[in-house]
Structure 1
Amino acid sequence: MTTSANTITISVTGMTCEGCANTVRTALVQTPGVASADIDVASGRVQVHPDGTVATDDLEFSIDDAVTASGYTVAS
Structure 2
Amino acid sequence: MIAPLTLACLWLIAANVIAMLPSRDHHWRAAYALIVVGIPLLGWVTWQAGPVWGLILLGAGASILRWPLIHLLRRMRG
So what's the TM-score if we normalise by structure 1? Answer: 0.34
Higher radius of gyration, 1 or 2: 2
Higher helix proportion: 2
Which structure is higher in strand share?
1
TM-score, normalised relative to structure 2: 0.34
